[in-house]
Amino acid sequence: MMSPGAAPAHPGAHPGSNAGGPLAPQGAAQGTLRMQPQMPSRPAPQGGAQIDYPGLVETNAAHDEPVGFDDREGGERALPQLSIHAFCERNETASCINQMTRDWRMRRTNPKIYLGGLPAAIEFYHKENTPGLVIIESALRGPELFSQLETLASVCDEGTRVVIIGALNDIRLYRQLMDKGVSDYLVPPLSPLGIIRSLSEIYTDPEQPFTGRAVAFFGAKGGVGSSTLAHNIAWTLSERLMQETALVDLDSSWGTTALDFAYDSASGLEEALADADRLDDTLMDRIMVRHTPRLSILPASSSLNTMPVTDSRSYEAIVSAVRSVSPLALLDLPHVWNDWSTGILTSVDDVVITAAPDLANLRNTKNLIDFLKAQRPHDADPVLILNQTGRCKAREDEISVENFAGAVGLDPALVIGFDPDTFIRACNEGKMLPEMKATETLVPGLDYLAGRLRTGEFAAPSGSGGSRLKLGRLGRGGASASEEGKPKGKSLIASLLGRKG
Protein backbone atom coordinates (compact mmCIF):
# COMPACT_ATOMS: atom_id res chain seq x y z
CA MET A 1 0.00 0.00 0.00
CA MET A 2 1.28 3.42 -0.92
CA SER A 3 1.69 6.01 1.76
CA PRO A 4 -0.46 9.20 1.61
CA GLY A 5 0.48 11.43 -1.27
CA ALA A 6 2.23 8.65 -3.14
CA ALA A 7 2.26 8.57 -6.93
CA PRO A 8 2.96 5.59 -9.18
CA ALA A 9 6.48 5.39 -10.55
CA HIS A 10 8.07 3.22 -13.21
CA PRO A 11 10.78 0.73 -12.17
CA GLY A 12 13.89 2.45 -10.88
CA ALA A 13 12.33 5.90 -11.18
CA HIS A 14 11.74 8.57 -8.60
CA PRO A 15 8.19 9.09 -7.34
CA GLY A 16 8.00 12.60 -8.73
CA SER A 17 8.57 11.58 -12.33
CA ASN A 18 4.94 12.29 -13.17
CA ALA A 19 4.22 15.03 -10.70
CA GLY A 20 3.92 18.63 -11.74
CA GLY A 21 6.52 18.71 -14.52
CA PRO A 22 10.30 19.32 -14.15
CA LEU A 23 11.68 20.20 -10.76
CA ALA A 24 13.40 23.52 -10.18
CA PRO A 25 17.16 23.28 -9.63
CA GLN A 26 18.30 23.23 -6.01
CA GLY A 27 21.09 25.41 -4.76
CA ALA A 28 24.48 23.75 -4.68
CA ALA A 29 25.83 23.30 -1.19
CA GLN A 30 28.29 21.03 0.58
CA GLY A 31 27.17 17.45 0.16
CA THR A 32 24.23 18.39 -2.09
CA LEU A 33 23.36 17.94 -5.72
CA ARG A 34 21.70 19.96 -8.42
CA MET A 35 18.53 18.48 -9.86
CA GLN A 36 18.28 18.49 -13.65
CA PRO A 37 15.00 18.90 -15.58
CA GLN A 38 13.57 15.74 -17.10
CA MET A 39 12.87 15.03 -20.72
CA PRO A 40 9.21 15.12 -21.78
CA SER A 41 7.49 11.75 -21.80
CA ARG A 42 5.39 10.03 -24.45
CA PRO A 43 2.82 7.25 -24.25
CA ALA A 44 4.14 3.72 -24.07
CA PRO A 45 4.00 1.87 -27.43
CA GLN A 46 1.09 -0.45 -28.14
CA GLY A 47 1.26 -3.91 -29.67
CA GLY A 48 1.33 -4.09 -33.44
CA ALA A 49 -0.66 -6.24 -35.84
CA GLN A 50 0.76 -9.28 -37.59
CA ILE A 51 2.17 -8.94 -41.10
CA ASP A 52 2.64 -11.47 -43.86
CA TYR A 53 3.92 -10.31 -47.23
CA PRO A 54 3.25 -12.81 -50.02
CA GLY A 55 5.72 -11.10 -52.34
CA LEU A 56 9.48 -10.74 -52.35
CA VAL A 57 9.48 -8.51 -49.30
CA GLU A 58 8.49 -10.25 -46.10
CA THR A 59 8.21 -9.01 -42.52
CA ASN A 60 8.39 -11.23 -39.50
CA ALA A 61 5.20 -11.44 -37.45
CA ALA A 62 7.30 -12.42 -34.45
CA HIS A 63 8.59 -8.85 -34.40
CA ASP A 64 5.15 -7.27 -34.21
CA GLU A 65 5.38 -6.93 -30.44
CA PRO A 66 6.97 -3.88 -28.75
CA VAL A 67 10.62 -4.34 -27.94
CA GLY A 68 10.42 -2.94 -24.43
CA PHE A 69 10.88 0.75 -25.03
CA ASP A 70 9.80 2.94 -22.15
CA ASP A 71 8.20 6.38 -22.18
CA ARG A 72 11.45 8.29 -22.64
CA GLU A 73 11.81 10.89 -25.33
CA GLY A 74 15.08 11.04 -27.23
CA GLY A 75 18.06 8.70 -27.21
CA GLU A 76 20.28 7.00 -24.68
CA ARG A 77 23.06 8.91 -22.91
CA ALA A 78 26.31 7.57 -21.51
CA LEU A 79 27.37 8.80 -18.10
CA PRO A 80 30.37 11.12 -17.97
CA GLN A 81 33.70 10.15 -16.49
CA LEU A 82 33.23 9.97 -12.72
CA SER A 83 33.61 7.76 -9.68
CA ILE A 84 30.50 6.20 -8.15
CA HIS A 85 30.11 4.64 -4.71
CA ALA A 86 27.00 2.63 -3.84
CA PHE A 87 26.10 1.71 -0.25
CA CYS A 88 23.37 -0.93 -0.27
CA GLU A 89 21.25 -2.46 2.49
CA ARG A 90 20.05 -5.45 0.48
CA ASN A 91 21.99 -7.96 -1.55
CA GLU A 92 19.35 -7.67 -4.29
CA THR A 93 20.11 -3.97 -4.72
CA ALA A 94 23.86 -4.62 -4.75
CA SER A 95 23.34 -7.26 -7.44
CA CYS A 96 21.24 -4.87 -9.54
CA ILE A 97 23.89 -2.15 -9.35
CA ASN A 98 26.60 -4.69 -10.14
CA GLN A 99 24.69 -5.64 -13.31
CA MET A 100 24.42 -2.02 -14.39
CA THR A 101 28.21 -1.59 -14.17
CA ARG A 102 28.51 -3.90 -17.22
CA ASP A 103 26.43 -1.58 -19.38
CA TRP A 104 28.05 0.49 -22.15
CA ARG A 105 26.56 3.66 -20.66
CA MET A 106 28.81 3.12 -17.64
CA ARG A 107 32.06 2.53 -19.49
CA ARG A 108 33.57 5.87 -18.40
CA THR A 109 32.64 5.46 -14.74
CA ASN A 110 34.55 3.86 -11.88
CA PRO A 111 31.91 2.19 -9.67
CA LYS A 112 32.40 0.54 -6.27
CA ILE A 113 29.72 -1.27 -4.28
CA TYR A 114 29.55 -1.58 -0.49
CA LEU A 115 27.04 -3.02 1.96
CA GLY A 116 25.80 -1.27 5.08
CA GLY A 117 23.62 1.52 3.73
CA LEU A 118 23.66 5.04 5.14
CA PRO A 119 25.55 4.31 8.42
CA ALA A 120 28.34 2.59 6.49
CA ALA A 121 28.63 5.59 4.13
CA ILE A 122 28.93 8.03 7.03
CA GLU A 123 31.64 5.97 8.68
CA PHE A 124 33.49 5.45 5.39
CA TYR A 125 33.63 9.14 4.47
CA HIS A 126 34.95 10.16 7.87
CA LYS A 127 38.23 8.71 6.58
CA GLU A 128 37.94 8.84 2.77
CA ASN A 129 37.20 11.49 0.16
CA THR A 130 33.79 11.34 -1.46
CA PRO A 131 33.43 10.53 -5.18
CA GLY A 132 31.41 12.50 -7.70
CA LEU A 133 28.27 10.43 -7.05
CA VAL A 134 27.08 8.48 -4.02
CA ILE A 135 24.13 6.07 -4.22
CA ILE A 136 22.67 5.15 -0.83
CA GLU A 137 19.95 2.65 -0.06
CA SER A 138 17.96 3.39 3.10
CA ALA A 139 14.57 2.26 4.38
CA LEU A 140 14.57 5.05 6.97
CA ARG A 141 11.97 7.83 6.94
CA GLY A 142 11.20 10.91 8.96
CA PRO A 143 13.56 12.67 11.41
CA GLU A 144 16.01 9.75 11.67
CA LEU A 145 16.62 9.72 7.91
CA PHE A 146 17.15 13.46 7.68
CA SER A 147 19.39 13.46 10.75
CA GLN A 148 21.70 10.89 9.17
CA LEU A 149 21.64 12.75 5.84
CA GLU A 150 22.78 15.91 7.65
CA THR A 151 25.66 13.90 9.13
CA LEU A 152 26.51 12.56 5.69
CA ALA A 153 26.48 16.06 4.20
CA SER A 154 28.95 17.19 6.86
CA VAL A 155 31.54 14.65 5.67
CA CYS A 156 30.90 15.00 1.90
CA ASP A 157 33.13 17.06 -0.34
CA GLU A 158 31.62 20.04 -2.11
CA GLY A 159 29.93 19.09 -5.38
CA THR A 160 29.20 15.48 -4.43
CA ARG A 161 25.86 14.31 -5.75
CA VAL A 162 23.68 11.96 -3.73
CA VAL A 163 20.97 9.57 -4.94
CA ILE A 164 18.75 7.79 -2.41
CA ILE A 165 17.15 4.40 -2.99
CA GLY A 166 14.15 4.15 -0.69
CA ALA A 167 11.56 1.55 0.18
CA LEU A 168 8.28 3.42 -0.34
CA ASN A 169 6.84 5.39 -3.22
CA ASP A 170 6.16 8.52 -1.18
CA ILE A 171 5.85 11.78 -3.08
CA ARG A 172 6.09 13.90 0.07
CA LEU A 173 9.32 12.22 1.12
CA TYR A 174 10.62 12.72 -2.40
CA ARG A 175 9.91 16.45 -2.27
CA GLN A 176 11.53 16.77 1.15
CA LEU A 177 14.66 15.06 -0.13
CA MET A 178 14.77 17.35 -3.15
CA ASP A 179 14.49 20.36 -0.85
CA LYS A 180 17.53 19.07 1.03
CA GLY A 181 19.50 18.92 -2.20
CA VAL A 182 19.38 15.18 -2.92
CA SER A 183 19.67 14.61 -6.65
CA ASP A 184 17.12 11.80 -7.01
CA TYR A 185 15.03 9.35 -5.05
CA LEU A 186 14.51 5.91 -6.57
CA VAL A 187 12.04 3.26 -5.47
CA PRO A 188 11.65 -0.47 -6.18
CA PRO A 189 11.26 -2.38 -8.37
CA LEU A 190 14.75 -1.50 -9.55
CA SER A 191 16.33 -2.40 -12.89
CA PRO A 192 19.90 -1.77 -14.07
CA LEU A 193 18.77 0.27 -17.08
CA GLY A 194 16.24 2.22 -15.02
CA ILE A 195 18.93 3.30 -12.54
CA ILE A 196 21.34 4.23 -15.34
CA ARG A 197 18.74 6.39 -17.08
CA SER A 198 17.91 8.17 -13.83
CA LEU A 199 21.60 8.88 -13.25
CA SER A 200 22.09 10.13 -16.81
CA GLU A 201 19.31 12.69 -16.36
CA ILE A 202 21.22 14.13 -13.40
CA TYR A 203 24.19 14.85 -15.65
CA THR A 204 22.23 16.23 -18.58
CA ASP A 205 23.51 19.60 -19.74
CA PRO A 206 20.65 22.06 -19.01
CA GLU A 207 21.69 24.14 -22.03
CA GLN A 208 21.50 21.07 -24.30
CA PRO A 209 18.99 18.76 -22.63
CA PHE A 210 17.98 16.94 -25.81
CA THR A 211 19.75 13.92 -27.25
CA GLY A 212 18.28 12.35 -30.37
CA ARG A 213 18.08 8.65 -31.08
CA ALA A 214 20.87 7.06 -33.10
CA VAL A 215 20.64 3.94 -35.27
CA ALA A 216 23.72 2.22 -36.72
CA PHE A 217 23.47 0.30 -40.01
CA PHE A 218 26.14 -2.36 -40.42
CA GLY A 219 26.60 -5.00 -43.10
CA ALA A 220 27.55 -8.51 -42.08
CA LYS A 221 29.68 -8.58 -45.23
CA GLY A 222 30.56 -6.16 -47.99
CA GLY A 223 28.01 -5.80 -50.76
CA VAL A 224 24.93 -6.94 -48.85
CA GLY A 225 23.11 -3.63 -49.30
CA SER A 226 23.47 -2.09 -45.83
CA SER A 227 24.22 1.41 -47.15
CA THR A 228 21.45 1.24 -49.75
CA LEU A 229 18.92 0.28 -47.11
CA ALA A 230 20.20 2.94 -44.69
CA HIS A 231 19.76 5.62 -47.35
CA ASN A 232 16.31 4.44 -48.37
CA ILE A 233 15.05 4.10 -44.82
CA ALA A 234 16.33 7.60 -44.02
CA TRP A 235 14.41 8.91 -47.03
CA THR A 236 11.34 6.90 -46.01
CA LEU A 237 11.45 8.32 -42.50
CA SER A 238 11.67 11.90 -43.71
CA GLU A 239 9.40 11.85 -46.77
CA ARG A 240 6.80 9.19 -45.97
CA LEU A 241 6.70 9.23 -42.16
CA MET A 242 7.43 12.99 -41.97
CA GLN A 243 10.16 12.41 -39.38
CA GLU A 244 13.03 14.90 -39.05
CA THR A 245 16.03 12.68 -39.85
CA ALA A 246 19.80 12.96 -40.25
CA LEU A 247 21.81 10.53 -42.37
CA VAL A 248 25.53 10.29 -41.61
CA ASP A 249 27.95 8.53 -43.98
CA LEU A 250 30.88 7.33 -41.84
CA ASP A 251 32.80 5.71 -44.70
CA SER A 252 35.38 8.34 -45.65
CA SER A 253 37.01 6.17 -48.32
CA TRP A 254 34.18 4.32 -50.04
CA GLY A 255 30.94 5.98 -48.90
CA THR A 256 28.07 6.09 -51.42
CA THR A 257 25.68 8.58 -49.83
CA ALA A 258 26.67 11.39 -52.19
CA LEU A 259 26.20 9.07 -55.18
CA ASP A 260 22.82 7.76 -54.07
CA PHE A 261 21.49 11.26 -53.48
CA ALA A 262 23.08 12.68 -56.68
CA TYR A 263 25.66 15.08 -55.23
CA ASP A 264 28.74 15.53 -57.38
CA SER A 265 31.12 16.61 -54.63
CA ALA A 266 30.66 16.63 -50.90
CA SER A 267 33.10 16.45 -48.01
CA GLY A 268 30.98 16.91 -44.91
CA LEU A 269 32.44 13.95 -43.02
CA GLU A 270 36.01 15.03 -43.70
CA GLU A 271 35.30 18.57 -42.48
CA ALA A 272 33.66 17.23 -39.34
CA LEU A 273 36.58 14.89 -38.60
CA ALA A 274 39.06 17.72 -39.14
CA ASP A 275 37.20 19.97 -36.66
CA ALA A 276 35.88 17.34 -34.27
CA ASP A 277 37.07 19.29 -31.22
CA ARG A 278 34.93 22.32 -32.03
CA LEU A 279 31.79 20.79 -33.50
CA ASP A 280 28.69 22.77 -32.56
CA ASP A 281 25.24 23.50 -33.98
CA THR A 282 26.55 26.24 -36.26
CA LEU A 283 29.31 24.11 -37.78
CA MET A 284 27.05 21.09 -38.19
CA ASP A 285 24.46 23.23 -39.96
CA ARG A 286 27.13 24.48 -42.36
CA ILE A 287 28.65 21.14 -43.33
CA MET A 288 25.46 19.07 -43.48
CA VAL A 289 23.45 19.06 -46.70
CA ARG A 290 19.74 19.84 -46.38
CA HIS A 291 18.43 17.38 -48.95
CA THR A 292 14.76 17.96 -48.14
CA PRO A 293 13.07 20.05 -45.44
CA ARG A 294 13.13 16.98 -43.17
CA LEU A 295 16.28 15.13 -44.29
CA SER A 296 19.81 16.36 -43.59
CA ILE A 297 22.82 14.46 -44.89
CA LEU A 298 26.44 14.38 -43.79
CA PRO A 299 28.06 12.89 -46.90
CA ALA A 300 31.61 11.64 -47.37
CA SER A 301 33.90 12.65 -50.21
CA SER A 302 35.10 9.04 -50.64
CA SER A 303 38.56 10.24 -51.50
CA LEU A 304 41.68 8.10 -51.36
CA ASN A 305 44.05 11.07 -51.25
CA THR A 306 44.17 11.07 -47.44
CA MET A 307 44.29 8.26 -44.96
CA PRO A 308 41.05 7.76 -43.03
CA VAL A 309 40.81 9.08 -39.48
CA THR A 310 40.80 6.31 -36.89
CA ASP A 311 40.53 8.35 -33.68
CA SER A 312 37.51 7.08 -31.75
CA ARG A 313 36.98 10.43 -30.04
CA SER A 314 36.52 12.20 -33.37
CA TYR A 315 33.75 9.84 -34.47
CA GLU A 316 32.16 10.01 -31.03
CA ALA A 317 32.14 13.80 -31.29
CA ILE A 318 30.41 13.66 -34.69
CA VAL A 319 27.71 11.29 -33.48
CA SER A 320 27.17 13.39 -30.36
CA ALA A 321 26.91 16.59 -32.39
CA VAL A 322 24.41 15.09 -34.84
CA ARG A 323 22.28 13.71 -32.00
CA SER A 324 22.16 17.15 -30.42
CA VAL A 325 20.53 18.69 -33.51
CA SER A 326 18.42 15.83 -34.91
CA PRO A 327 15.76 13.71 -33.16
CA LEU A 328 16.75 10.66 -35.23
CA ALA A 329 20.16 9.98 -36.78
CA LEU A 330 20.93 7.04 -39.08
CA LEU A 331 24.62 6.13 -39.14
CA ASP A 332 25.88 4.34 -42.24
CA LEU A 333 28.95 2.45 -41.03
CA PRO A 334 31.57 0.89 -43.31
CA HIS A 335 32.41 -2.78 -43.01
CA VAL A 336 35.43 -2.26 -40.75
CA TRP A 337 36.12 -3.58 -37.28
CA ASN A 338 38.16 -1.30 -35.05
CA ASP A 339 37.86 0.81 -31.91
CA TRP A 340 35.71 3.57 -33.37
CA SER A 341 33.28 1.30 -35.24
CA THR A 342 32.75 -1.03 -32.29
CA GLY A 343 32.41 2.00 -30.02
CA ILE A 344 29.53 3.30 -32.14
CA LEU A 345 27.88 -0.13 -32.49
CA THR A 346 27.79 -0.59 -28.73
CA SER A 347 26.60 2.92 -27.83
CA VAL A 348 23.66 3.63 -30.15
CA ASP A 349 19.96 3.10 -29.50
CA ASP A 350 19.52 0.49 -32.24
CA VAL A 351 21.73 -1.60 -34.53
CA VAL A 352 20.46 -2.81 -37.91
CA ILE A 353 22.40 -5.73 -39.39
CA THR A 354 22.00 -6.48 -43.09
CA ALA A 355 23.02 -9.91 -44.32
CA ALA A 356 22.62 -12.18 -47.35
CA PRO A 357 21.78 -15.91 -47.12
CA ASP A 358 25.23 -17.41 -47.65
CA LEU A 359 27.78 -19.08 -45.40
CA ALA A 360 30.12 -16.11 -44.85
CA ASN A 361 27.20 -13.87 -43.98
CA LEU A 362 25.81 -16.48 -41.60
CA ARG A 363 29.12 -16.75 -39.74
CA ASN A 364 29.60 -12.97 -39.56
CA THR A 365 26.01 -12.33 -38.50
CA LYS A 366 26.26 -14.91 -35.74
CA ASN A 367 29.46 -13.29 -34.48
CA LEU A 368 27.93 -9.81 -34.63
CA ILE A 369 24.78 -10.81 -32.76
CA ASP A 370 26.75 -12.61 -30.06
CA PHE A 371 29.07 -9.62 -29.67
CA LEU A 372 26.23 -7.09 -29.44
CA LYS A 373 24.21 -9.15 -26.98
CA ALA A 374 27.26 -9.45 -24.72
CA GLN A 375 28.18 -5.77 -24.97
CA ARG A 376 24.57 -4.48 -24.76
CA PRO A 377 22.91 -6.74 -22.16
CA HIS A 378 20.18 -4.21 -21.30
CA ASP A 379 19.33 -3.11 -24.85
CA ALA A 380 16.99 -4.49 -27.46
CA ASP A 381 18.36 -7.16 -29.80
CA PRO A 382 19.74 -5.90 -33.11
CA VAL A 383 17.32 -5.67 -36.03
CA LEU A 384 18.19 -8.20 -38.74
CA ILE A 385 17.45 -7.69 -42.44
CA LEU A 386 17.97 -10.68 -44.73
CA ASN A 387 18.59 -9.23 -48.18
CA GLN A 388 19.16 -10.70 -51.65
CA THR A 389 17.19 -13.87 -50.95
CA GLY A 390 16.41 -16.06 -53.96
CA ARG A 391 19.74 -15.49 -55.73
CA CYS A 392 20.33 -19.19 -56.30
CA LYS A 393 18.34 -20.99 -58.98
CA ALA A 394 18.51 -24.24 -57.04
CA ARG A 395 16.78 -24.03 -53.69
CA GLU A 396 19.25 -26.32 -51.93
CA ASP A 397 22.16 -24.01 -52.79
CA GLU A 398 20.83 -21.16 -50.64
CA ILE A 399 20.46 -21.11 -46.86
CA SER A 400 16.77 -20.86 -46.06
CA VAL A 401 15.35 -18.08 -43.91
CA GLU A 402 14.47 -20.55 -41.15
CA ASN A 403 17.92 -22.17 -41.12
CA PHE A 404 19.66 -18.80 -41.19
CA ALA A 405 17.55 -17.52 -38.28
CA GLY A 406 18.06 -20.68 -36.29
CA ALA A 407 21.83 -20.61 -36.74
CA VAL A 408 22.29 -16.94 -35.74
CA GLY A 409 19.70 -17.03 -32.95
CA LEU A 410 17.60 -14.14 -34.27
CA ASP A 411 14.65 -13.99 -36.64
CA PRO A 412 14.95 -11.43 -39.46
CA ALA A 413 12.57 -8.51 -39.16
CA LEU A 414 12.57 -8.02 -42.93
CA VAL A 415 13.27 -10.41 -45.82
CA ILE A 416 13.99 -8.81 -49.22
CA GLY A 417 14.18 -10.69 -52.51
CA PHE A 418 17.02 -10.47 -55.02
CA ASP A 419 16.32 -7.82 -57.68
CA PRO A 420 19.64 -6.22 -58.78
CA ASP A 421 18.21 -4.50 -61.87
CA THR A 422 15.82 -2.27 -59.94
CA PHE A 423 18.37 -1.40 -57.26
CA ILE A 424 21.06 -0.51 -59.80
CA ARG A 425 18.61 1.55 -61.86
CA ALA A 426 17.59 3.55 -58.80
CA CYS A 427 21.25 4.25 -57.98
CA ASN A 428 22.07 5.28 -61.54
CA GLU A 429 19.13 7.69 -61.63
CA GLY A 430 19.87 9.16 -58.21
CA LYS A 431 16.49 8.09 -56.88
CA MET A 432 15.33 6.31 -53.78
CA LEU A 433 13.56 2.96 -54.13
CA PRO A 434 10.10 4.27 -53.14
CA GLU A 435 10.37 6.70 -56.09
CA MET A 436 10.70 3.82 -58.54
CA LYS A 437 7.51 2.32 -60.01
CA ALA A 438 8.97 -1.21 -59.95
CA THR A 439 9.38 -1.28 -56.16
CA GLU A 440 5.79 -1.08 -54.98
CA THR A 441 6.18 -4.19 -52.82
CA LEU A 442 9.33 -2.92 -51.16
CA VAL A 443 7.68 0.29 -49.93
CA PRO A 444 5.57 -1.36 -47.18
CA GLY A 445 8.67 -3.17 -45.94
CA LEU A 446 10.64 0.08 -45.73
CA ASP A 447 7.72 1.75 -43.95
CA TYR A 448 7.55 -1.20 -41.58
CA LEU A 449 11.21 -0.94 -40.56
CA ALA A 450 11.25 2.86 -40.53
CA GLY A 451 8.31 2.83 -38.14
CA ARG A 452 10.20 0.50 -35.81
CA LEU A 453 13.24 2.77 -35.76
CA ARG A 454 11.11 5.84 -35.11
CA THR A 455 8.72 4.51 -32.47
CA GLY A 456 10.48 1.49 -31.00
CA GLU A 457 7.78 -0.95 -32.05
CA PHE A 458 6.91 -3.02 -35.07
CA ALA A 459 3.47 -2.25 -36.49
CA ALA A 460 1.45 -2.98 -39.59
CA PRO A 461 2.34 -0.75 -42.55
CA SER A 462 -0.32 1.33 -44.26
CA GLY A 463 -0.24 -0.67 -47.52
CA SER A 464 -1.58 -4.15 -48.03
CA GLY A 465 1.78 -5.41 -49.23
CA GLY A 466 0.23 -7.98 -51.51
CA SER A 467 1.94 -7.47 -54.87
CA ARG A 468 5.33 -8.76 -55.93
CA LEU A 469 8.57 -6.86 -56.48
CA LYS A 470 9.30 -8.89 -59.60
CA LEU A 471 7.90 -11.97 -61.34
CA GLY A 472 7.99 -15.11 -59.24
CA ARG A 473 6.93 -15.25 -55.67
CA LEU A 474 9.62 -15.88 -53.05
CA GLY A 475 9.17 -18.98 -50.94
CA ARG A 476 10.29 -19.04 -47.33
CA GLY A 477 13.19 -21.26 -48.27
CA GLY A 478 14.66 -18.71 -50.64
CA ALA A 479 13.49 -20.15 -53.98
CA SER A 480 10.81 -18.94 -56.34
CA ALA A 481 7.32 -20.40 -56.21
CA SER A 482 7.97 -22.48 -59.32
CA GLU A 483 10.72 -24.33 -57.45
CA GLU A 484 8.65 -25.17 -54.39
CA GLY A 485 7.20 -28.37 -55.83
CA LYS A 486 10.60 -29.94 -56.55
CA PRO A 487 12.14 -32.53 -54.25
CA LYS A 488 13.91 -30.97 -51.34
CA GLY A 489 17.67 -31.40 -51.43
CA LYS A 490 20.30 -31.07 -48.76
CA SER A 491 20.86 -27.38 -47.86
CA LEU A 492 24.28 -25.95 -47.07
CA ILE A 493 23.48 -25.20 -43.45
CA ALA A 494 21.89 -28.65 -43.04
CA SER A 495 25.11 -30.20 -44.31
CA LEU A 496 27.09 -28.22 -41.74
CA LEU A 497 24.73 -29.33 -38.99
CA GLY A 498 25.00 -32.91 -40.13
CA ARG A 499 21.35 -33.53 -40.87
CA LYS A 500 19.03 -33.64 -43.87
CA GLY A 501 17.56 -30.34 -45.09
Q: For residue 91, is it within any domain? A: yes
Q: For residue 134, is it within any domain? A: yes
Q: For residue 151, is it within any domain? A: yes
Tell me the C-alpha distance between 301 and 15, whole Å: 50
- How many distinct structural domains can be found in the chain? 1
Confidence of residue 208 (pLDDT cuts 50, 70, 90): low
Quick check: 31 pLDDT over 80? no
Quick check: 345 pLDDT over 70? yes
User: Which CATH number fits the domain that encloses residue 193?
Assistant: 3.40.50.2300
Tell me the C-alpha distance between 310 and 343, whole Å: 12
Confidence of residue 136 (pLDDT cuts 50, 70, 90): very high
Q: For residue 255, is it within any domain? A: no
User: Does the reported pTM lie above 0.75?
Assistant: no
Query: Looking at residues 407-414, what average pLDDT do you find?
Result: 93
pLDDT score for 209: 62
Q: For residue 184, is it within any domain? A: yes
Instruction: Give the DSSP per-residue string, 320-341.
Output: HHHHHH-SEEEEE--S--SHHH
Please choose, from the candidates 450, 399, 50, the residue with its C-alpha nearest in 3D space to the C-alpha of residue 229.
450
Q: For residue 417, is it within any domain? A: no
Q: For residue 442, is it within any domain? A: no
Exposure of 371 in the CB half-sphere (CA atoms within 13 A): 16
pLDDT score for 384: 96
Q: For residue 173, is it within any domain? A: yes
Give me the helix-helix angle, 401-408 and 359-375, nearest 10°.
40
pLDDT score for 484: 40
Domain extent, residue 168, equals: 15-64+75-202
Written as one letter, the residue type at 358 is D
Confidence of residue 58 (pLDDT cuts 50, 70, 90): low
